[in-house]
Chain A
Amino acid sequence: MSAPLVLFRRVAKSYDGRTQAVAPLDLAVAEGEFLTLLGPSGSGKTTTLMMLAGFEEPSSGEILLEGKVITRVPPHRRGIGVVFQNYALFPHMSVAENLAFPLEMRRLPRAEREARIARALAMVRMEGLADRRPAQLSGGQQQRVALARALIFSPRLVLMDEPLGALDRQLREQLQLEIKALHARLGVTILYVTHDQGEALTMSDRIAVFRTGRVEQLGTPREIYDRPATAFVAGFIGENNLIPVEVLGQEGAFARCRLPGGAEVLAAAAHPPGPALLVLRPERILLGGDLPNRLFATVRNAVFLGDQTRLVVALGETTLTVKLPHRAGEHAVAPGERIALGFAPDAALLLPAEEGR
Chain B
Amino acid sequence: MTPRILVGAAAGLVLLFLLAPILAILPLSFSASDILRLPPEGWSLRWYAALLSSERWLLAARNSLLVAGATTLLGTVLGTLAALGLHFGRFPGRGAVLALLAAPVVTPSIVTAAALFLAYSAVGLAGTFVGLVLAHTVISVPFVVLAVLASLRSFDPALLRAAASLGAPPAAAFRRVVLPLIAPGVAAGAVFAFATSFDEFILTLFLAGPGQFTLPRQIYAAVRDVWDPTICAAAVLLFLASMLLLLASEALRRRGGGIG
Contact = CB atoms under 8 A, between A and B. Distances in A.
Contact of B167 (A79, A84, A89): A79
A105 B168 contact: yes
B225 interface: no
Contacts of A54: 164
A74 interface: yes
Contacts of B177: 90
A129 B239 CA distance: 49
A149 B177 CA distance: 15
A84 B158 contact: yes
Contact of A88 (B159, B168, B172, B180): B159
A55 B161 contact: yes
Interface string A261-295: 00000000000000000000000000000000000
Interface size for chain B: under 10, 10 to 19, 20 to 34, or 35 or more residues? Answer: 10 to 19
A88 B156 contact: yes
Contacts of A185: none
Given A54-B164, A76-B169, A106-B167, A101 B176 contact: yes
A82 B181 contact: no
B181 A84 contact: no
Contact of B161 (A53, A89, A101, A149): A53
Contacts of A343: none
Contact of B166 (A85, A86, A92, A149): A149
B165 interface: yes
A81 B176 contact: no
B165 A53 contact: yes
B163 interface: yes
B162 A84 contact: yes
A88 B161 contact: yes
Contacts of B169: 74, 76
Nearest to B167: A105
A106 B159 CA distance: 18
A102 B176 CA distance: 12
A40 interface: no
A75 interface: yes
User: Do most interface residues of chain A lie in helix, strand or loop, or is the interface mixed?
Assistant: loop
A67 interface: no
B168 to A, nearest CB: 5
A82 B165 contact: yes
B165, B168, B176, most chain A CB atoms within 10 A: B165
A90 B167 contact: no
Contacts of A81: 165
A75 B164 CA distance: 6
B158, B162, B169, most chain A CB atoms within 10 A: B162
A150 interface: yes
A91 interface: yes
B164 A74 contact: yes
B180 to A, nearest CB: 5
Contacts of A88: 156, 158-159, 161-162
A84 B162 CA distance: 8
A105 B162 contact: no
A84 B180 contact: no
A53 B158 CA distance: 13
A153 interface: yes
B163 to A, nearest CB: 7
A191 interface: no
B151 to A, nearest CB: 13
A91 to B, nearest CB: 7
Nearest to A159: B165
A311 interface: no
B156, B166, B181, most chain A CB atoms within 10 A: B166
A90 B181 CA distance: 9
A78 B165 CA distance: 8
Nearest to B165: A82
Contacts of B161: 53, 55, 75, 82, 84, 88
Nearest to A81: B165
Contacts of A89: 162
A80 interface: yes
B165 A80 contact: yes
Interface of A: 53-55, 74-82, 84-86, 88-92, 101-102, 105-106, 149-150, 153
26 contacts: A53-B161, A53-B165, A74-B164, A76-B167, A76-B168, A78-B165, A81-B165, A82-B161, A82-B162, A86-B156, A88-B156, A88-B161, A88-B162, A89-B162, A90-B159, A90-B162, A90-B177, A91-B181, A92-B181, A101-B166, A101-B168, A102-B166, A149-B166, A150-B166, A153-B166, A153-B167
Given A54-B164, A78-B165, A102-B166, 7 more contacts: A74-B164, A75-B161, A76-B170, A80-B165, A86-B156, A88-B162, A105-B166
Listed from nearest, the 7 A-B pairs whose CB atoms lie closest are: A105-B167, A102-B166, A88-B162, A82-B165, A75-B164, A88-B158, A76-B164
